[in-house]
A and B are shown apart, each in its own frame.
Chain A
Amino acid sequence: TQLLEQSPQFLSIQEGENLTVYCNSSSVFSSLQWYRQEPGEGPVLLVTVVTGGEVKKLKRLTFQFGDARKDSSLHITAAQPGDTGLYLCAGEVDSGYALNFGKGTSLLVTP
């Protein structure tokens, strides 16, 4: 059973479009992290959200942590080909120590 469910699994859009990807769970997380992974490389941290309801912006990327700390979303405005990659969410449960990862959303942005 996957602790974190990400949707959609695949997304193909054109440059300039907006998109939102989701990360959902029935568990409460003390924090949630978003990573981006490019082919042949390891995941790289984008952001960490800690407080329920928190919103963080990273240039054209907006991350939101749900009020109950069970879910999160990532919104990208005016997507660019450089945004192409696998977006992974990862959560640390209150009693846990290591991060549990979702399967990711594979994003393709075409010119």
Chain B
Amino acid sequence: DAGVIQSPRHEVTEMGQEVTLRCKPISGHNSLFWYRQTMMRGLELLIYFNNNVPIDDSGMPEDRFSAKMPNASFSTLKIQPSEPRDSAVYFCASSLRDRRGNSPLHFGNGTRLTVT
């Protein structure tokens, strides 16, 4: 089991540039989540997908943020244009959700984004 794979591990970019974060969930999982972690706000849910369909994107901070899941094995989170306040660690997580719920999340190791 390779786990959830995120790339890149680190991204440093200048304000105004486009940033794309990538995620490969665990094979067979039907739910995918994007979280952002900062010291001030902790782990914040940005968006989640179920069976590749976005269910709730109310956590996406602004229109500058967008996420896609074109198939069950790949998702992207894009920030355009990036701003210094977007600096954070971005985590992708996947789970296999059934009718009972209570599904544990399996996290990737995150992408540390620094916008200068």
Interface residues of chain A, those whose CB is within 8 Å of chain B, are 2, 30-31, 33, 35, 40-45, 48, 50, 88, 90, 92, 97-104
Contact = CB atoms under 8 A, between A and B. Distances in A.
Interface of B: prevailing SS? strand
Contact of A30 (B42, B50, B102): B102
Contacts of A31: 101-102
Contact of B93 (A41, A42, A100, A103): A42
Nearest to B104: A45
Contact of A88 (B41, B43, B48, B104): B43
B12 interface: no
Given A2-B42, A98-B56, 12 more contacts: A31-B101, A41-B109, A41-B110, A42-B109, A43-B91, A43-B107, A44-B107, A45-B105, A90-B105, A92-B101, A97-B56, A101-B43
B42 A33 contact: no
A42 B104 contact: no
A48 B100 CA distance: 13
Contacts of A90: 105
Contacts of A50: 102
